[in-house]
Chains A and B, each alone.
Chain A
């Protein structure tokens, strides 16, 4: 069959515009499928790091918007298996303005504990010490530095929106690691800035447990401890915590798969129509080939081969573009959407879908062409 490959290539170049447009439509469709797949994988398949596996997050059982009493901290610390923990309160607020590039997450934390819990973060020791000493100090991630241009020693004000306070802070440390779109300031400074009636509450607690085996037991123990209190807790892994945000958007899984399915189905119809059109135009030539001695199965293979080749090229381009787009998106959405990279199995999935598109879209026109009687095909030529 390999000797027919050059003929297949030549046939593809017969109507270059149509071939390019078909490849482009498959490329764009598979780009969309690839991005959706990457989003899906980022939501549901991204494996956590070893450090993530040691972390638990305690929040109010009812809603993330409701806070927990500060005194829970000591009781949680006493639970067997808890190595350390830090208060982790979302401040929100505004830095300069609301432009996306000015956005970074701001949390009130326990400076002595936070990098023990987020142990994969690296921070220069001198800067860390400077941050510990300055109660107005703020530690910012390197991604924040890159986007905002902030540097050590810069002073700025975080204007409160959830809380009725503004926080004047000084950049004392710059850290690197998976949380580098965040900024951390002293929870105590935040607490003391609040009015009396808003004090004594914490958004969440981030816990580091001794071993991954302790995770289910510790989570159960904490939730059991506060089950009958006015502020019951929900303790979950970092991954489950992130997924809870996703689930707030509805049935994301079904949504993503539905769109991807619709895209694939649509491109299947478009591609099928293109192949059918191409075959119709060449019925005469198919008759000639058969007269020369080409068998129906050879004709069938050549037509399917052309369609599969077009789809495969579209698939390769679509997959490559997906890498490019998800890479750019990861840069741009840093902090909002971590890990938006096409998984390795996504590459095979997309290429497999491309091959299937080529195969399924061409099978009917190819069978019709192969079955066409030579005399009918030649008569078609006029």
Chain B
């Protein structure tokens, strides 16, 4: 748990956020009274051992899960109080999400995958395709528009996923282990793309990672341990014993 004071306009504010999962008679405390501010245009890496609550925190910020208690404000909206439909629309507008396993739709081409979030907007087909092409251009894949995911390398797939995450021009991009399934070269490509989005396009980026190399791309790294957000600069106990930097 950590107390933070907001610096300027915050993209994300967590106050006393608790997330408890119940499975049958068992209950697991995934996040324990977490306070956190993430300023706009920040690039934050969340690290910690497995089960420390990193992904849970990302899910809460993305609005795909709800806190058990506490207040969660993202881009000034109290998303904890939103209904399912309202939250879906909010997510579509404000959040770009990148998964470890890319999660592209296999029956759609790169262009169609990137166009997917735009189906929820009022844009015309032509505008949707233009925006999707632009997003693919930003991640350097304008020559792979009609390729299906199976025809792309892992790094290219992840860049398509990044293009899909940015195509709606969201303020926040969340990435859950974005380099977990990539080789070193592909991981570098993906992380460079994220850094570019943060530096040149002003996106607020939060990544969850086990990889210290990936974390180095972030401006700041915070650690979680057993549901607690450790104070800035503090690492989990035996962190170096469980993490083998390469």
- Chain A positions near chain B (C-beta within 8 angstroms): 3-4, 7, 10-11, 13-14, 284-285, 288-297, 373-375, 378, 381-382
Contacts and interface: CB of A to CB of B under 8 A. Distances in A.
Interface stretch (B33-41, B115-123, B204-212): B115-123
Interface of B: 59, 62, 64-65, 84-85, 88-89, 91-93, 97, 99, 101, 103, 105-108, 112, 116-117, 119-120, 125, 164
A92 to B, nearest CB: 64
B108 A295 contact: no
A130 to B, nearest CB: 72
A12 to B, nearest CB: 9
Given A288-B99, A293-B88, A378-B99, A14 B65 contact: no
A293 B64 contact: no
A296 B84 contact: yes
Contacts of B91: 291-293
B117 A292 contact: yes
Contact of B88 (A4, A290, A373): A290
Nearest to A377: B64
B85 A295 contact: yes
B103 A285 contact: yes
B158 to A, nearest CB: 14
Contact of B65 (A4, A284, A375, A381): A375
Most buried by B among A3, A294, A297: A3
Given A373-B65, A375-B59, A378-B99, A292 B107 contact: no
Most buried by A among B64, B88, B91: B88
A57 to B, nearest CB: 63
A292 to B, nearest CB: 5
23 contacts: A7-B119, A10-B107, A10-B112, A284-B103, A285-B103, A288-B103, A290-B64, A290-B88, A291-B62, A291-B91, A292-B91, A292-B116, A292-B164, A293-B88, A293-B89, A293-B93, A296-B84, A296-B88, A297-B85, A373-B65, A374-B65, A375-B64, A382-B101
Contact of B84 (A285, A288, A295): A295
A377 to B, nearest CB: 9
A157 to B, nearest CB: 70
A122 to B, nearest CB: 60
A285 B108 CA distance: 12
A13 B65 contact: no
Given A293-B93, A381-B101, 5 more contacts: A10-B105, A291-B97, A294-B88, A374-B64, A375-B65
B8 to A, nearest CB: 28
B178 to A, nearest CB: 14
* In the complex, the 5 A-B pairs of residues with the closest C-beta atoms, listed nearest first: A293-B92, A374-B64, A10-B107, A295-B88, A288-B103
A3 B164 CA distance: 17
A231 to B, nearest CB: 75
A290 B95 CA distance: 12
A243 B93 CA distance: 67
A14 B125 CA distance: 23
Contacts of A11: 107
Contacts of B89: 293, 295
Most buried by B among A293, A297, A373, A374: A293
Nearest to A382: B101
A290 B101 CA distance: 16
Contacts of A3: 119, 125
B88 A10 contact: no
Given A295-B84, A296-B84, A381-B101, A13 B119 contact: no
Nearest to A13: B107
Contacts of A382: 101
B65 A294 contact: no
A373 B64 CA distance: 8
A339 B178 CA distance: 68
B29 to A, nearest CB: 16
B88 A381 contact: no
Contacts of B93: 293
A332 to B, nearest CB: 44
Contact of B107 (A4, A14, A294): A14
A118 to B, nearest CB: 62
B135 to A, nearest CB: 13
Given A373-B65, A374-B65, A4 B99 contact: no
A291 B64 contact: yes
Contacts of B92: 292-293
B97 to A, nearest CB: 5
Given A374-B65, A375-B59, A294 B120 contact: yes
Given A285-B103, A295-B85, A296-B84, A4 B119 contact: yes
Contacts of B117: 292-293
Nearest to A373: B65
Most buried by A among B62, B93, B107, B117: B107
Contacts of B84: 295-296
A265 to B, nearest CB: 32
A293 B120 contact: yes
Nearest to B164: A292
Contact of B108 (A10, A292, A375, A378): A10
A315 B23 CA distance: 44
A290 to B, nearest CB: 7
Most buried by B among A284, A288, A291: A291
B107 to A, nearest CB: 4
Contacts of B107: 10-11, 13-14
A308 to B, nearest CB: 19
B184 to A, nearest CB: 23
A7 B108 CA distance: 8
